[in-house]
């Protein structure tokens, strides 16, 4: 029943769009001399759309319902679950990146982390019971941010050749 609602498909489209941007960025930055400036800017569009949707949703909700929109029932585990789900993809992406000889190591690592985190979020959101846009704008983003930041930190250490 939920899969027949536009909100569900919006929930899936958000991390999917970030995964596609992450894939594009990773493939560009995996090659020596590859640049990804345009891809980093493209990340702003899905994030802006979700955050604008979250602001409209919160503004239109009664005051007593706003906390539920933001925290839902699973806020304690959502970002952590996404982070753990991203580990296999993270290892795989970094293994592939290491063999492709990137030169912008921090950016390539961040792009690989984004790809892993957003892919994990796609898988997670199919199971997640939360349907509030503010929830996605905070907890899904935080779950994707952890592997992205870790990738940026790990990239110069792991991808050096």
**pLDDT (tens digit per residue) in 66-80:** 999 999 999 999 999
**pLDDT (tens digit per residue) in 56-105:** 999 999 999 999 999 999 999 999 999 999 999 999 999 999 999 899 99
Q: What was the pLDDT predicted at 25?
A: 95
Name all contacts of 65-74 with Cβ < 8 Å and 24+ positions apart: 68/132, 69/132, 69/133, 69/134, 69/135, 70/132, 70/134, 70/135, 70/138, 71/135, 72/129, 72/130, 72/132, 72/135, 72/139, 73/129, 73/130, 74/128, 74/129, 74/130, 74/139
pTM of the model: 0.92
């Amino acid at each position: 029943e939920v899969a027949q609602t536009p909100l569900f498909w919006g929930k899936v489209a958000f991390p999917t769009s970030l995964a596609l941007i992450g894939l594009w960025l990773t493939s560009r930055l995996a090659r020596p001399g590859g640049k990804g400036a345009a891809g980093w800017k493209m990340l702003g569009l899905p994030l802006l759309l979700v955050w604008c949707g979250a602001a409209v949703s919160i503004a239109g909700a009664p005051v007593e319902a706003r906390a539920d929109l933001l925290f839902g029932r699973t806020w304690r585990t959502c970002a952590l679950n996404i982070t753990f789900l991203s580990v296999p993809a993270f290892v795989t992406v970094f293994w592939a990146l290491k063999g492709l000889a990137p030169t912008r190591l921090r950016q390539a690592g961040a792009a690989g982390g984004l790809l892993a985190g957003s892919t994990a979020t796609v898988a997670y959101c199919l199971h997640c019971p939360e349907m509030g846009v503010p929830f996605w704008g905070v907890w899904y983003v935080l779950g994707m941010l952890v592997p992205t930041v870790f990738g940026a930190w790990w990239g110069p250490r792991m991808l050096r050749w």
